Structure 1
């Protein structure tokens, strides 16, 4: 980071302390467009801000491997979640690198690596496992009071992983993966024969609606979510059954049945039953999913429900909307912008990018 930028941030910090400057925004942290966890070649862990030009705008240390993060909607602050079954999350001032708070899961709980802020940024919602009860929970934290824990709600299912907000509201949509785990058995899946994944819509603790897959797909764990501006939810799944599943990607609107994306069996087989991340295009017409196991990016046409492109990239996982195209990251350090037909831009970092590329939605 250049000396001028460092000096500016120190100057701003002094003004803030004196009450003479407006509160910092994401612009003061280098105007990143995305967040991503990463690892260095010597085994250190970071949370990075990435610009729309795919340059790294900041690097902040993490105490352990990160999974995903939640970006505050107004101030340059992020909550970095440990890889499940982690019991802590770190709140980082992305402008200074200061650790603002540590979230510790209550006794009998662990985090699932994802969270989302309320629309006004006052609350943080986290997906958690009540592992003795074998039930998913949503933790509620006060982001304006040092991230004190306020309450918790039932997630509407087992194994909640990703969580998003419907646009313009505080209605939460939760990907209940359906898989029961317990820290004493590590990441062992305890209930595969009876798992029942769902999407759950929750407002103020009330379960508004759940949507489930057909019975023959009950071993298709719903894991990751993306939304368009109209509230359509796209979801990526991870198959826990035998053989090749019929679909790994679907969409849903409240009050309607689930819709599954279609692809030739060889293309689905090449994904090795595993969707790592998902994004929806800015116009809602295209759904992008990644498989680090298969080393593939798949693009689907949301209207026709058909696979329109498969693109290879070793150890790909992170994906997010970037203009009319998508940004993707890889464990090899690659960052690319692609529209499915060609690579629009690319950079190489001396880092191993972790699973997710988190958009920063600023006012």
Structure 2
């Protein structure tokens, strides 16, 4: 059996292709990790019509990815808690670099490039206490690690570059986990928050929910061009409580919680897996693979409706609404009229669809 070390060595040896743009790999609009028949893993590029643009192998299960803003290069992240992130040349199908955080750190499944693509920011936590950090990597220097900043919270998950390109927003989940696995150690004392951090590492603003919502772990993020942030949550208590799983926030204002009717809320089983704004920005949606549901809300928080889809989780902005993916290989367009299947792959799509800018 090929070892992970041998797998990476073979890919690194092939990594000699020049830096080309996304057109060189079929103009994908999205990235998604997948599990293939037989148990192998891959990162795929998906076009806006649902067709596959490319597929490159991964050595283990992927979670999310981030796309370089100008060249066909992506960083695929291990599922939390992980020890690696792979810089993948999507043209050559090769690994250019394997990024490992410092000793005593874990990679938490997400990252973001700076607007000019010169820096990469990664979501990390300290192993001993789950304190959050942002790793900073110099792309032009072969992804050399050049610094780090605090996330100002515990158990960070997704981070995103704000539309102004001058700050990051971080979803601090508030969960302290065991150093070796995903066991949660502080359910009764969770402190989730949404933190805005300057690119110099200063805390610009921080949002915490009411104490009764302390078990609502803030996990994933969506951004609108005007700076409105959507944050998806995962409830760490009794799922029969039916707490809201989506919030909206604009800097300088109080957060708005988006509530569905109780029956719809209960159907989500306390879990929002992905979040995205619709193409025109007028609404936002979350998915629940556990509940097999997609919930749509207006940009003011009003519930607009639900779509049922088995194991749906991946979600991203599409010009006509949303692009979604499921664990059965389906890729579908979702709009105000419902879900419209576009393609089905012989693969199980993982949690996220990541939109490629441009």
Q: TM-score interval w.r.t. the shorter chain?
A: over 0.9
Tell me, yes or no, if structure 1 residue 194 matches structure 2 residue 189.
yes
Q: 1:322-362 CA deviation, whole Å, 9 max, x = no partner? A: 11211110000011011031334521110100000000003
CA contact (8 A) 1:279 1:321 kept: yes
Tell me, yes or no, if structure 1 residue 315 matches structure 2 residue 308.
no
Aligned twin of 1:66: 62
Q: 1:142-169 CA deviation, whole Å, 9 max, x = no partner? A: 1111111111111110010000011131
Tell me, yes or no, if structure 1 residue 342 matches structure 2 residue 326.
no
Alignment partner of 1:255 out of 252, 257, 260: 252
Aligned twin of 1:44: 40
Tell me, yes or no, if structure 1 residue 222 matches structure 2 residue 218.
yes
Alignment partner of 1:300 out of 297, 300, 304: 297
Structural mapping, 1:47-196, within 5 Å: 47-184=43-180, 186-196=181-191
CA contact (8 A) 1:244 1:268 kept: no
CA contact (8 A) 1:79 1:90 kept: yes
Does 124-133 or 25-34 show the bigger shift? Answer: 124-133
Cα distance between partner residues in 1 of 2:317 and 2:129: 37
Aligned twin of 1:265: 262
Structure 2: gaps (5+ residues)? 1-15
Structure 1: gaps (5+ residues)? 1-12, 17-22
- Displacement of 1:302 in angstroms is 1.6
Cα distance between partner residues in 2 of 1:172 and 1:58: 30
CA contact (8 A) 2:280 2:319 kept: no
- Displacement of 1:217 in angstroms is 0.4
- Displacement of 1:131 in angstroms is 2.0
- Displacement of 1:29 in angstroms is 1.3
Aligned twin of 2:206: 210
Across the aligned residues of Structure 1 and Structure 2, the Cα RMSD in angstroms comes to 1.3
For normalisation by structure 1, the TM-score amounts to 0.92
Aligned twin of 2:22: 26
Stretches of 4+ aligned residues off by more than 2 angstroms: 342-345
User: Aligned residues, how many?
Assistant: 341
Cα distance between partner residues in 2 of 1:169 and 1:349: 35
Which secondary structure does the structure 1 equivalent of 2:263 belong to?
A: helix
CA contact (8 A) 1:228 1:282 kept: no
Cα distance between partner residues in 1 of 2:93 and 2:243: 45
